[in-house]
Amino acid sequence: MRARDSARLSTVRLLLAAMKQKEVDERVELADADVLAILEKMIKQRRESIAQFEKASRQDLADKEKAEIVVLSGYLPQRLSDAEIQKAIDSVISETGASGAKDMGKVMAALKSRLAGRADMAAVSGLVKTRLSG
């Protein structure tokens, strides 16, 4: 507020409102995992909006959404490297005994809890699919 950064302030207010809304709707106090889920959802919504705005030639709105992603990403934990992601995938595959594409759901469920907020789960899904089919 004091820095007069209105874009950052409005983004943080949106995040706080989303957190409060979830607390009120579910009558619970949010855990860290819940906050991460809200952050990831908000970032995903903004990425989808950017695609739509760019398709409609509204670069001004797309730039605003990109700025919000930068602010929201600052609240996520440190991203994992590709090597760390591969190690986690290998670990879960060996733990679950996954052998083919039919076991992908089991592997992704285990990975989601381990990698929440620290990796792009769409990219992880592609890596798992490649690993299980090959």
pLDDT in tens, 57-68: 999 999 999 999
Q: Residue 33 is encoded by which pair of tokens?
A: 């995992």
Mean pLDDT of 46-55: 96
Between CA 64 and CA 74 the distance in angstroms is 16
DSSP 58: -
91-110, pLDDT tens digit by residue?
998 888 888 888 888 889 88
The reported pLDDT for the residue numbered 11 is 92
Q: Which CATH class is domain 6-73?
A: mainly alpha
Domain ranges of the chain: 6-73, 82-133
CA distance 127 to 121: 10
Alpha helices in the chain (DSSP H): 6-26, 32-55, 59-73, 82-96, 104-115, 121-133
Q: Which of 133, 99, 92 is nearest to 114 (CA)?
A: 92
Identify the pLDDT of residue 1: 58
Query: What is the mean predicted confidence (pLDDT) over 69-88?
Result: 90
Token look-up 């943080």 returns 12
For the whole model, what pTM was predicted? 0.73
DSSP secondary structure letters along 105-129: HHHHHHHHHHHTTTS-HHHHHHHHH
- What is the distance between the alpha carbons of residues 56 and 39, in angstroms, rounded to a whole number? 26
CATH fold of 82-133 reads Arc Repressor Mutant, subunit A (1.10.10)
Give the whole-number percent of the chain exceeding pLDDT 70: 97
- Please give the backbone phi and psi of residue 32, each rounded to the nearest 5 degrees, phi first: -60, -40
Average pLDDT, the chain: 89
